[in-house]
Amino acid sequence: MLLNTRGPKHGRRLLLSSVIRSTALYAVPSWIKGMETRSYRRSLESTHRLRAIRVCSAFRTISDDAALVIAGLLPIDEYAAIASDSFTASRQTNSTTTDQQSGLEHRRAWQSSLRRWQERKHGAVNFYLTQLLSGHGCFSSYLKRFNHDESDECTWCGAGIVEDASHVLQHCPRFDVERCRLQNVMGELVTSRNLIRRMTADPDVWEAVSAFAVRVTKVLRKLER
């Protein structure tokens, strides 16, 4: 079992994940119809979800979609369909592959929606960054949601202000110094709208956001204790 804060780094976790995926999809054209049976599909999805959680070092409470996106993975049924369509298309003549090619192109287009995140040449995901991106971490809103705290209010701001990842990233005065450092690297105010775009475009911004996440989550973790 891969621990969240120790063990292999993100790149090696992805490599191990790809090996497991290749094994899981062995001979997929012969059994892909079985994915139509919910119990069989859920078995694969459960294993795939766990792989995504281990890759991005997330808490188990994270949603399937969030874990997959942060880990940079597609849903397992998409991987299965792409592999099966590729195999089928390679064995057919050009005159009989219109439907298969169309399906394959559709799935590749779906995959491209995550392409900027998946194909970035820099930036590793870790336990602290995943908390900031997912909102599942040492934030009062999260702790209250899962009955680890009685209030979702920011202990610094008070006055009914909910402490979630967005508040910590953009507004909370407790982290003005950390936010200033981040914005100096970005050259603009940090917002939920520009964060991912800037991270994937600039390695320095990625590292600055990651450093911000480490400092902030460690402070919040101490307060939680």
Q: What is the pLDDT of residues 41-56, one digit of tens each?
A: 898 999 999 999 999 9
Q: Check if the beta carbon of residue 48 is closer than 8 Å to that of residue 76.
A: yes
With the C-alpha atoms ordered 161, 164, 170, 173, is the resulting torsion angle positive or negative?
positive
Share of the chain above pLDDT 90, in %: 55
Q: Is pLDDT larger for residue 12 or for residue 61?
A: 61
| Over residues 51-63, mean pLDDT | 94
pTM greater than 0.85 (yes/no): no
Residue 85 vs residues 42, 81, 102: alpha-carbon distances, Å? 21, 6, 10
User: With 80 as the cut, is the pLDDT of residue 5 above it?
Assistant: no
The pLDDT of residue 96 is 44
The pLDDT of residue 105 is 55
The pLDDT of residue 174 is 97
CA 36 to chain centre: 26
The pLDDT of residue 186 is 97
| Over residues 147-166, mean pLDDT | 93
Phi, then psi, of 153 in degrees rounded to 5: -80, 140
d(CA 220, CA 126) in angstroms, rounded, equals: 17
DSSP state of 35: G
Structure tokens at 110: 């779906």
User: With 70 as the cut, is the pLDDT of residue 107 above it?
Assistant: no
Q: Check if the beta carbon of residue 10 is closer than 8 Å to that of residue 125.
A: yes
